[in-house]
Homo-oligomer: A and B are copies of this chain.
Amino acid sequence: MNKLFKALDDPTRRKILDILKKSDLSAGEIVQQFSMTAASISHHLTVLKNADLVLAEKRGQQVFYSLNTTVFQDLIEWIYSLKGEEK
């Protein structure tokens, strides 16, 4: 849970998630959406990957990233447990 909240606590990383909502993208295509070096974006992708928020799949030279929505269920349950509701 720690890694999840840390991963979400950055506007760039949240924007990456938002972009991936529309379609899977390669690292390079993600970089194009930001005014930031590829190294920085790569770092953010690593954080998202370690929090299981995205999946990475290498295809040739490129690495394609996609949203992994399964983790959001944990987050939703955490929220509802605070709200004191069942689900």
* A84→B79 CA distance, assembly (Å): 18
Contact yes or no, B2 A11, CB < 8 A: yes
Contact yes or no, A18 B72, CB < 8 A: no
- Chain B residues whose CB sits within 8 angstroms of the CB of A81 once the complex forms: 21
Of A1, A11, A79, A84, most buried by chain B (CB within 10 Å of CB) is A79
- Chain B residues whose CB sits within 8 angstroms of the CB of A5 once the complex forms: 5, 8-10, 14
Contact yes or no, B8 A84, CB < 8 A: no
Please judge, given known A-B contacts A2-B11, A9-B6, A11-B2, whether A72 and B67 are in contact too, CB under 8 Å: no
- Chain B residues whose CB sits within 8 angstroms of the CB of A75 once the complex forms: 79
Determine if A42 is an interface residue (Cβ-Cβ < 8 Å).
Answer: no
